[in-house]
């Protein structure tokens, strides 16, 4: 590709450096806040991007300014041979960071392979330390298996390890202290995520929403004043804090209460190859179609440069730009 300006920038001057790459919409859990419990089907295999296509997209995006890719899903570890994709991603020049978000169910099995492939940053979703509640939220009695996956990740030395917890009033808000307490004992960052209304037929109900400020207050009531950490490179939109004598830290992602659209650097690619420019907007660009029409790398780069100009300014324009989100989080990748 001809050397062009090595930045990908939208109409509002935001540099897009981070791709959330959903490798599958399939999942081995069925979290109530993420995936519809009825009338739901997986994408047919032939409609999802092949690894060759994914790599071509990632090489192109890296050449024009993307520096970080997160493997997500559905559950990324259920896609066959994910490790080989991870290995090839780590070979892309200029791609500085490759990380993964997983539910942890298959982590005990795949932690070695991920580590060998060069992945170090791992986010593991865990909304409850109580096996019964875990089963209620996720539909599967697999708490112990996930916990073994977390232990394996700690043993391997992944760093940072972030534990993502979505807090829902009346469901797991009584576990805020227990979850935050993990950061005292383990070198992990427990990240509290606000419940978001993404997709249809999920558990969403405004009465279940708990703001990050409330969550933080509860943590401080239990553990004392939290010390803010300087903004780290891997913090993203999270504000990060530490408790006295803790091995790890806690983070808060208030996507609804503290909007971070102004500094949004994210692109999302769905498993069937649609570029999603904002989590909350169903306006997508069909990358797979363009790819399968035979665009070469240079044409693809131009395609992306034009596509990102459609990125909405932000949530405050929800009505004006008619943002709507009918896709489930499991088919977007979070």
Q: Which of residues 199-258 bind ligand SAM (CB under 6 A)?
A: 202
Residue with tokens 């992945």: 119
From 70-78, 152-160, 214-222, 286-294, give the range in contact with ligand SF4 by CB under 6 A.
70-78
Residue 193 makes contact with ligand SF4 by CB under 6 A: no
Backbone angle region of 314, left / alpha / beta, with phi > 0 → left and psi within -120 to 50 → alpha: left
From 48-56, 97-105, 222-230, 300-308, give the range in contact with ligand SAM by CB under 6 A.
97-105
Out of 17, 22, 24, 103, name the contact with ligand SF4 by CB under 6 A: 103
Residues in the chain: 334
Residue 103 makes contact with ligand SAM by CB under 6 A: yes
- Longest CA pairwise span in the chain (Å): 58
Count of CA atoms in the C-beta half-sphere (13 A) of 81: 6
Rounded least distance, CB 249 to ligand SF4, Å: 22
- What does the alpha-carbon distance between residue 162 and residue 185 come to, in Å, rounded to a whole number? 14
User: Are the beta carbons of 156 and 112 closer than 8 angstroms?
Assistant: yes
Residue 34 makes contact with ligand SF4 by CB under 6 A: yes
Q: Which does 30 bind (CB under 5 to 8 A by kind): ligand SF4, ligand SAM, none?
A: ligand SF4
If you ran DSSP here, which 8-state letter would residue 322 be given? Answer: T
- What does the alpha-carbon distance between residue 134 and residue 132 come to, in Å, rounded to a whole number? 5
Out of 101, 172, 218, 265, name the contact with ligand SAM by CB under 6 A: 101
Q: Which of residues 17-46 bind ligand SAM (CB under 6 A)?
A: 27, 33-34
Partner residues linked to 9 by β-bridges: 15
Q: Which residues bind ligand SAM (CB under 6 A)?
A: 27, 33-34, 72-73, 75, 101-103, 125, 164, 166, 193, 195-196, 198, 202, 329-330, 333-334
């Amino acid at each position: 590709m001809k050397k062009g300006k090595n930045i990908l920038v939208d109409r509002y001057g935001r540099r897009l450096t981070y791709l959330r790459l959903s490798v599958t919409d399939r999942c081995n859990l069925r979290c109530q806040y993420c995936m519809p419990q009825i009338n739901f089907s997986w994408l047919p295999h032939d409609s999802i991007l092949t690894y060759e296509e994914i790599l071509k997209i990632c090489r192109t995006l890296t050449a024009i300014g993307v520096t970080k890719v997160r493997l997500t899903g559905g559950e990324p570890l259920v896609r066959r041979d994910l490790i080989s994709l991870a290995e090839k991603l780590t070979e892309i020049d200029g791609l500085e960071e490759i990380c993964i978000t997983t539910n942890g169910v298959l982590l005990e099995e795949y932690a070695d392979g991920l580590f060998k492939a060069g992945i170090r940053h791992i986010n593991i979703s865990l909304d409850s330390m109580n096996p019964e509640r875990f089963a209620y939220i996720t539909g599967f009695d697999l708490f112990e298996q996930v916990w073994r996956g977390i232990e394996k990740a700690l043993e391997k030395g992944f760093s940072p390890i972030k534990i993502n917890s979505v807090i829902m009033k009346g469901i797991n808000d009584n576990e805020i202290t227990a979850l935050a307490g993990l950061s005292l004992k383990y070198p992990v960052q427990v990240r509290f995520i606000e419940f978001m209304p993404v997709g249809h037929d999920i558990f969403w109900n405004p009465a279940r929403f708990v703001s990050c400020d409330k969550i933080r207050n509860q943590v401080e009531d239990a553990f004392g004043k939290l010390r803010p950490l300087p903004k780290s490179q891997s913090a993203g939109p999270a504000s990060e804090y530490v408790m006295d004598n803790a091995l790890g830290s806690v983070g808060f992602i208030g996507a609804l209460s503290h909007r971070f659209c102004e500094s949004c650097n994210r692109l999302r690619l769905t498993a069937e190859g649609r570029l999603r420019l904002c989590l909350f907007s169903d306006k997508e660009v069909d990358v797979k179609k363009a790819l399968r029409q035979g665009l070469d790398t240079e044409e693809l780069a131009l395609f992306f440069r034009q596509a990102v100009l459609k990125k909405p300014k932000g949530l405050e324009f929800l009505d004006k730009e008619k943002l709507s989100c009918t896709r489930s989080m499991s088919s977007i990748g979070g």
